[in-house]
Structure 1
């Protein structure tokens, strides 16, 4: 006699249990993990930029005095980063296209652009420094693990908010090529300096990654022994705890 089926068709199971996972979670391939990450990035980027573009358009439509001057509103280092970048670009184009189709007003108004007093060179460097500041905070708050890591989204969100305040008037504070690329495609309009929204964030990411590896190489956690830690990769902290206890 065959063994009784152990499948459960409850709502807590994917597809109500009628379609099982492609592989056991313990043996899932790296390709499957990359595909899941890509779909998550696609959905997340689409929703984030969809809401951002809608909100920006609404602000301009509700403020007649701002219609004559476009306003400016408004971060994958390994193999997965190379996979997620084109996904973000596709999500940006999709979000801009949908907003352009269903929301009154021109999608061109949400393009990131330089204020007339900013030169192209100034724009590149401002985007570079803002992106570097943003990414180093992501790396130190999320990539580095501690007992406070669960609060990383709050710190990252506040960092993005600060970066936007600092740069939105001058460059639009893109900090991500996907943010700037989608509206340009949907609006069929690229500024002659659009490249700064690629080069600036790229340079900023390199600076942030370089500094991150620099402090990791010199065991930055040893600079303040006994600091809060999850005990994962912080061997130095654990030694510090033992020394203090001894």
Structure 2
């Protein structure tokens, strides 16, 4: 079914609403995910990879389900960029989404770190760990981000009877990606998340660039 024709004014208004939804949704997602990940790591006395993966996967699942019909629940500049490349959003929409996601990420992480004791903060920033090289870390982020975007497009843009449940595979894919990468790159798979945690910690790892280009 062809979408209804809209005026430039109504389109701009719709984009603004979607961008606000991306800002709030990204903030909610990272507030829940980062806060929960810090809590489970502190409770376990170290890196709890399963707990961290569940924190991010479940947080994305529930928040993306809530915002899906408003903005498509990207919450990730990589997903928005892939949607731009595939023609599902326009350049102005991408710019609005990108700004909203970066701002939302900073708000969400700041709130998560600001509403919990500093002693509970374990994973400060995204960085290479446990013997992983920068090159391998780059390709790890690259392939996992590709898989996340692929699952998103196949469940959201390839319309079928299960599209309304797209948030479920979207969240489960992020869970699986974190199970793999948390030990090696602290699993950003999202430039907004990597940037926000670094801003909050006032510290950027020298390999921070891999979370953007990867």
TM-score range, shorter chain: 0.7 to 0.9
Q: Match of 1:226?
A: none
Residues 1:189 and 1:108: Cα distance change in structure 2 (over 3 Å):
farther
Please name the residue that 2:203 is paired with: 189
- Taking the aligned partners of 2:190 and 2:34, their CA distance within structure 1 comes to 15
Match of 2:173 in 1: 159
Pick from 74, 81, 87 the counterpart of residue 94 of structure 2. 81
- Conservation of the 8 A alpha-carbon contact between 2:19 and 2:96: yes
Whose RCO is larger (CA < 8 A, sep 6+)? 2
What SS does structure 1 have at the residue aligned with 2:153?
Answer: helix
TM-score (ref. length: structure 2):
0.73
Question: Cα offset for 1:54?
Answer: 1.0
43, 50, 53: which one aligns with 2:34? 53
Q: Secondary structure at the match of 2:184?
A: coil
1:72, distance to aligned residue in structure 2 (A): 7.1
The TM-score, its normalising length taken from structure 1, stands at 0.64
Output the CA distance in 1 between the equivalents of 2:136 and 2:52.
16
**Alignment coverage as a number of residue pairs:** 172
Question: For 1:129 and 1:36, how far apart are their aligned partners in 2?
Answer: 32
In 1: Cα distance, 2:111 partner to 2:210 partner? 25
* Cross-structure match for 1:37: 18
Indicate the structure (1 or 2) with the bigger Cα radius of gyration: 1
Is structure 2 residue 109 aligned with structure 1 residue 128?
no
Cα contact 2:124–2:201 (8 A) shared by 1: no
Please, what is the CA RMSD of the aligned residues?
2.3
Structure 1 gap segments, 5+ residues each? 1-24, 201-246
CA distance in 2 between partners of 1:155 and 1:183 (Å):
25
